[in-house]
Amino acid sequence: MVNKSVILTLFISHSLFSMFYDASCPNLTRIVRYGVWMAVSNDTRMAASLLRLHFHDCFVNGCDGSLLLDDTNTFKGEKNALPNVNSVRGYEVIDNIKAVLEKVCPCVVSCTDIVTLAAREAVYLAGGPFWQIPLGRRDGTTASESEANQLPSPLEPLENIIAKFTSKGLNVKDLVALSGGHTFGFARCMMFKHRLFNFDGAGNPDPELDVMLRQNLENNCPNQDDSNNNFAPLDAYTINRFDNVYYRNLVNKLGLLQSDQALMKDNTTASLVVNYSRYPYLFYRDFGASMVKLANTGILTGQKGEIRKNCRMVN
């Protein structure tokens, strides 16, 4: 006989829901919120860094905390993959939150759910939207450096980036909405310097880059190798604020990365950009919906994976 509890167990073990930890760790949201708040009070940029940490966790191997695993002699993780090394930040913030949670509700909350919640809190704290997050993801026991090296690059054509998103179940609208993540945070000069000094191989700058912005960027990123690790804000106008100014920038040729500005070169993506530049609440609504989709990619539920005790290593 199939009784109610069997049905309930089946349901619980195969889908996420926002009340997942309500009984097992009722203060989870409060603890994550406080941890993010502390980190961002000390370092404003950390809000952006936590959002990116979540993106890079989910886009490689699914949202499974794979990015958090440290390399060891016998294990190669994702932290040293090219898009991540010297670039992804916020690992200590997750460690600190996990340490508090291990005291209050040990072995209950997955590291990948902490990252997911931290990204949501970070966006909200920076002035952005708030959305409900289904929970119950479990942590993976593997990582993939090679897949991490396939994360979208700012130098690749829009069609490639669209294909990478499509392969994760994210459509063009998701891509344009999630690109709004570049409304805060920073990028190193090496990621956009070619646009300033040699876009075409003949020493000319990118014609799709506003001249005033370019001249300002040249101060930060002079044409010498030792400026590669200097950085500039992705959104020069509201540097630390999560808003729709990113899209207004793109309309005005003020995108920092080539891949950002490319959204204006395709009619479908450009139309979405224009709409988000005009209607902040449309952007906020779509961003939240696309974040939920992103946070559902390749998840482990039920008996799969584990609840890591230390986010940096498998149990």
Ligand X SMILES: *[C@@H]1O[C@H](CO)[C@@H](O)[C@H](O)[C@H]1NC(C)=O
Taking the C-alpha atoms of residue 117 and residue 213, their distance in angstroms, rounded to an integer, is 34
Please select the residue that binds ligand HEM; options are 153, 230, 240, 310, rule is CB under 6 A. Answer: 153
Inter-residue contact 185 to 40 (CB < 8 Å): no
- Restricting to residues 22-81, name those near ligand X by CB under 6 A: 26-27, 39, 42-43
CB of 189 to ligand HEM, least distance (A): 8
Is 14 among the catalytic positions? no
Please tell me what DSSP assigns to residue 131. Answer: -
- Using a 10 angstrom Cβ sphere, with 0-12 exposed, 13-18 middle and 19 or more buried, the burial of residue 87 is middle
- Restricting to residues 84-103, name those near ligand HEM by CB under 6 A: 87, 89
CB of 31 to ligand X, least distance (A): 8
CB of 121 to ligand HEM, least distance (A): 14
Whole-number Cα distances in Å, 261 to 163, 179, 265: 18, 11, 8
- Binding pattern for the stretch 96-115 against ligand X, x by CB under 6 A and - elsewhere: --------x-----------
- Reduced to 3 states (helix: H, G, I; strand: E, B; else coil), residue 232 is strand
Please select the residue that binds ligand HEM; options are 76, 168, 188, 194, rule is CB under 6 A. Answer: 188
Selected range binding ligand X among 56-64, 207-215, 263-271, 304-312, rule: CB under 6 A? 263-271
Taking the C-alpha atoms of residue 63 and residue 84, their distance in angstroms, rounded to an integer, is 16
- Four-CA torsion 48, 51, 53, 54, nearest 10 degrees: 180
- Binding pattern for the stretch 227-246 against ligand HEM, x by CB under 6 A and - elsewhere: -------x------------
Inter-residue contact 172 to 163 (CB < 8 Å): no
CB of 269 to ligand X, least distance (A): 8
- Using a 10 angstrom Cβ sphere, with 0-12 exposed, 13-18 middle and 19 or more buried, the burial of residue 132 is exposed
Residue 61 or 261: the one with the smaller Cβ distance to ligand X is: 261
Selected range binding ligand X among 242-250, 252-260, 265-273, 289-297, rule: CB under 6 A? 265-273
Task: Calculate helix-pair angle for 28-42, 46-59, nearest 10 degrees.
Answer: 120
181 is an interface residue for ligand HEM by CB under 6 A: yes
The torsion angles phi and psi of 242, rounded to 5 degrees, stand at -85, 105
Q: Which residues are catalytic?
A: 56
Binding site for ligand HEM (CB under 6 A): 45, 48-49, 51-52, 55, 87, 89, 152-154, 161, 178-179, 181-182, 184-188, 191, 234, 257, 259
